[in-house]
Amino acid sequence: MTPLVKPAQDLHHAYRRRDLREALAALALAGPASALIFVFLIAPLVCIALLSLTDYQLGAKALRFVGLHNYSEMFADRVFRRSLENTLIYVSVVVPLSVGLGLGAALLIEAGESLRAFYRTVYFLPVMATLIAMAIVWEFALHPKLGLVNLALKSVGIAGPDWLHDRHIVLYTLAGIGVWQSVGFNMVLFMAGLQAIPRDLYEAAAVDGVSNAWDRFRTVTWPMLGPVSLFVIVITAIRSFQVFDTVQVMTKGGPNRASEVLLYTMYSEGFEFFRTGYAAAVTMVFLAFVLALAALKTWFLDRRVHYA
Amino acid sequence: MTGRGLGPTAGALRHVVLMAGAVIMLSPFVWMVLSSFKPQSEILTAELTFLPQRWAAIENYATVWTRVPMGRFLLNGAIVTASIFALQVLVNLPCAYALAKLRFRGRRALFAVVLLGLLIPIHATAIPIYILFHHAGILNTYAALILPFAISVFGIFMLRQFFMTVPDDLIDAARIDGVSEIGIVWRVMLPTAMPAVTAFGIFSVVAHWNDYFWPLIAIGTRELYTPPLGVAFFRLNDGGTEYGVLMAAATIVIMPLVAAFLLAQRRFIEGVTFTGLKG
C-alpha cells in the first residue's frame, strides 16, 4: 500500500460517511412530510380515479367495478351537463371582469400618490373577509324588497329583479359576487407587476416621443405586464372553477338547477346522496379542468411570454 | 407607476372612478354593520336608511351570543387555525430544508411530487380523505379538521425557494460547531426564514379561518363548528329572517381577520400575494 492511497481512501470513507449522514438526516427531516404527502395527496388521487370506476356508495360494505359507467351516466345526465355549462359560464364571466377591473384598479391607484393606501386597503378587504359570512350578507343585501341593492335602485326609480330566485339572473348574480371578492386579489398581483417595471423604460419612451398616458400604457406598461397578466388570468380561472361557498349557502344550485356548479354537484352527490362513485367521476372532470389550466400556466411561464 | 404625475383633471377623474369602486367594495360591509345595529321592525320598513332610529345593537349581538355558542365557534376557529399552522411549520420546514440543502436519493422525485401537489385543490382529494377518516373513526374531531392540512406542499415549495438563497457557509459553520441537522433546522434556518414563515403563516391562517368546504364535510356536531360553519348554521336554524341578528353574527365571524388585516395591512397584502401565486 503506497502512502498516497490511504488518505484518498480515508477521504472516500469520509465522503461515504458524510453521504450516509446526510441521507439519514434527510430521512428524518423529509420523512414525515413525505409520508403525509402520500396519505393526503398521492393515495387520495389514485383512490378518486379508481372510485370513479366503481359503484361505491358511502357506508356500503362492498363495491363493484363498473368501468366507465359513471362517466356515461354523467354525460347523459341533464343535471351534470347543466352544472358543467353553468361552471363554464361562471368562469367566463368572472375571469375577464375580475382581471380587467383588477388591472384597472391597479393602474389607477398607482397613477397618483393621494389615498393610495386607502384604496388598496378597501379593494383588498373582500379578499380577506370570510366568504361564507359575506355570502349571507349579500343574500340579505340582494333581498328583493328589504335589500340594499333593490332599495338603492328604487331610490332612482328602477324596480330591481329578484337576484337570487330568477333563474335567468342567478348565475350572473353569483358571478358578480365572485368578481367583487376577487378583484382586490388581482389588483395586488398587478401592482406587484407594475412596480417591477423599470422606470427608465418610461424615460426611454418619453425620449422616443411617447407623450400621453394611453401611449405609455400601450408601448411600455402593457407589454411589460404580459407575463403577469397571463398568470393572473389562469389563477383567476382556477379559483373560479372552485366556486362553492356562495352556491351552497345562497342558492343550493337553484332555482331549478340554474346555479348548479361542478363542486356543488360533487358535494351533493357525494355527501348528501352518498353516491360516492358518481361523485368521484364528477371530481375527475373538475380535476381535469384545473390541471389543464395549470398546464397552461406552466407552459406560459416556461415560454416566459414577454413582448418587451 | 405609469410614469409622471397626472394633471388636475385626470387626478380628479382618478378619484371619482376609484371612489365609485370603493363604495361598491365597501357597501356590503357598511350594510352588514349598520343592519346589525337595527331592530327587526326598522329593517322591515323597506326604507333606505343609514343609522338606526332605535339602536338595537346590544340586543342583536346578545341574541347571537345566547342562541348559539358563538364563543365556542371562535375558539374552535382559533384552535384549528393555530394547530394547522404549528403542524405545518413542524412538518414542512424540515422537509423544505432537506430539499434545499441536503443530497439524498429521491430528492428530485420528492420535489417533482411537491410541484404536482401544488396543482391539486382539497376538493379533489376530499372524498377519499373523508372515507379514510370514516374508517379511522376520526370524523367529527379536531383531528379531522387539522390533519389534512398538516402537509402543505405550498409551504414546502415556498420555504425551499427561500432556503436555496441561504448561503451554505452558514450551515457548514453550524456543522463544524457540532450542531446536528435537526438543530440546524430549528436554530439556524428557522430564525433566518422568519419573513417567509410569517408570510406563509398569514396565508395559512386566512385560508383556514375562512375555509368552509372541508369543515362542512368533516364536521357534524355543533360543538366543533368553526366560525364559517357556525354562521351558516345560524342562518339555517335560528336567524334566517331576523336580519339584524344574522348580520351581527356575520360581523362577529368577519371581525377577527378584518381587524388583524387593518392593523397590519402591508404584511397581509404581502403575505397573501407572495403566497397567493398558488393556483
Residue A58 lies in a domain: no
Q: Based on the domain organization, do A151 and A75 belong to the same domain?
A: yes
A60 located within any domain:
no
Strand partners, A54: A65
Q: How many Å from the N-terminal Cα to the C-terminal Cα in chain A? A: 65
State pLDDT tens for residues B176-215: 888 888 888 899 899 998 988 988 898 899 999 999 999 9
Same domain, A108 and A238: yes
- Residues A86, A172, single domain; the answer is yes
Per-residue pLDDT, averaged over B233-253, amounts to 86
Nearest to A110 by CA among A208, A230, A231, A202: A202
Instruction: Give the up-direction half-sphere exposure of residue A44: CA atoms within 13 A in the CB hemisphere.
Output: 24
Instruction: Provide the whole-model pTM.
Output: 0.90
Q: Where are the domains of chain B?
A: 8-65, 69-276
Residue A250 has what pLDDT?
A: 92
CB pairs under 8 A between A and B: 301
Stretch (H or E) spanning A157: none
Average pLDDT over residues A118-146: 93
- Number of domains comprising chain A: 2
What confidence tier does A201 reach under pLDDT thresholds 50, 70, 90? confident
Q: Which residues of B touch A242 (CB under 8 A)?
A: 121, 123
Looking at residue A198, its pLDDT comes to: 84
* Whole-number Cα distances in Å, A149 to A144, A173, A222: 8, 12, 35
Residues of B in contact with A115 (CB under 8 A): 15, 18
Q: What is the CATH number of the domain that holds A99?
A: 1.10.3720.10
pLDDT the model gives residue A225:
85
A59 within some domain: no
Mean pLDDT within A132-157: 91
> Is the domain of A35 the same as that of A105?
no
Q: Does residue A268 register a pLDDT over 50?
A: yes
Task: Tell me the mean pLDDT in the region A25-34.
Answer: 90
User: Does the pLDDT at position A215 exceed 80?
Assistant: yes
State the smallest CA–CA distance between residue A174 and chain B in angstroms: 14
A111 and A207 share one domain: yes
Same domain, yes or no: A12 and A149 = no
**Position B278 pLDDT exceeds 50:** no
Q: What is the pLDDT of residues A280-306, one digit of tens each?
A: 999 999 999 999 998 887 777 666 544
pLDDT band for position B274 (cuts 50, 70, 90)? low
Best residue in A17, A39, A40 for a mutation probing chain B (most B CBs within 10 Å)? A40
- Alpha helix stretches (DSSP H) within chain A: 5-37, 43-51, 69-76, 78-111, 116-128, 131-141, 148-155, 170-195, 199-207, 213-216, 222-241, 245-246, 262-267, 276-303
- Best mutation target among A50, A57, A137 (most B Cβ atoms within 10 Å) is A137
Q: Which of 1.10.420.10, 1.10.10.60, 3.40.640.10, 1.10.3720.10 would CATH assign to domain B69-276?
A: 1.10.3720.10
Which pLDDT belongs to residue A306? 46
SS3 A54: strand
Radius of gyration over every alpha carbon of chain A, rounded to an integer in angstroms: 27
Contact A133 B228 (CB under 8 A): yes
A40 and A130 in a common domain: no
Higher pLDDT, B47 or A239: A239
**Is residue A62 domain-resident?**
no
Of B98, B156, B180, the CB nearest to A26: B98
| B39-64 mean pLDDT | 85
B279 vs A266: CB contact, 8 Å cut-off? no
**CB atoms A41 and B113 under 8 Å:** yes
Same domain, A3 and A106: no
pLDDT at B4 over 80: no
ipTM value for the complex: 0.90
Q: What is the pLDDT of residues B169-185, one digit of tens each?
A: 888 888 888 888 888 88
> Which amino acid is it at A9?
Q
Nearest to B104 by CA among A34, A221, A163: A34
Confidence of residue B279 (pLDDT cuts 50, 70, 90): very low
Whether A64 is covered by a domain: the verdict is no
pLDDT given at position B3? 42
| Range of lowest pLDDT (A160-174, B64-78, B235-249) | B235-249
- Give B 146-205 residues with CB within 8 A of chain A: 147-148, 150-151, 153, 156, 180-182, 185
Do A168 and A232 have their domain in common? yes
pLDDT value, residue A6? 56
The percentage of residues in chain A with a pLDDT greater than 70, rounded to a whole number, is 93
- Does position A211 have pLDDT exceeding 90, yes or no? no
Q: Is residue A65, in this structure, part of any structural domain at all?
A: no
Alpha helices by DSSP H, B37-69: 40-44, 57-67
Residue A107 sits in the same domain as residue A235 = yes
pLDDT above 80 (res A278): yes
Looking at the structure, tell me whether residues A88 and A165 fall in a common domain: yes
Between B53 and A89, name the one with better pLDDT. A89
| Interface test with chain B among A22, A38, A140, A221, by most B beta carbons within 10 Å | A140
For residue A130, is it within any domain? yes
Grid coordinates representing A130 are: 370570510
Task: Identify the residue whose cell numbers are 385543490.
Answer: B121
Q: Which residues does A73 contact at the CB level (< 8 Å), separation at least 6? A: A278
Confidence class of residue A8 from pLDDT cuts 50, 70 and 90?
low
Say if residues A178 and A261 touch (Cβ distance below 8 Å).
no
pLDDT for B1 beyond 60: no
Q: Please check the confidence at residue A145 and state whether its pLDDT lies above 90.
A: no
Q: Which three cell numbers stand for residue A43?
A: 393515495
Question: Which helix (H) or strand (E) covers residue B218, if one does?
Answer: helix B213-218
Residues A123 and A262 grouped into a single domain: yes
Range of the domain at A263: 70-303
Q: What is the pLDDT of residues B221-237, one digit of tens each?
A: 999 999 999 999 988 88
| Chain B residues within 8 A of A285 when measuring between CB atoms | none
Q: Is the pLDDT of residue B269 over 70?
A: yes
**Which of A26, A36, A51 is nearest residue B127 as measured by Cβ atoms?**
A51
pLDDT digits (tens, 9 = 90+) for B137-148: 999 999 999 999
Report pLDDT for A260. Answer: 94
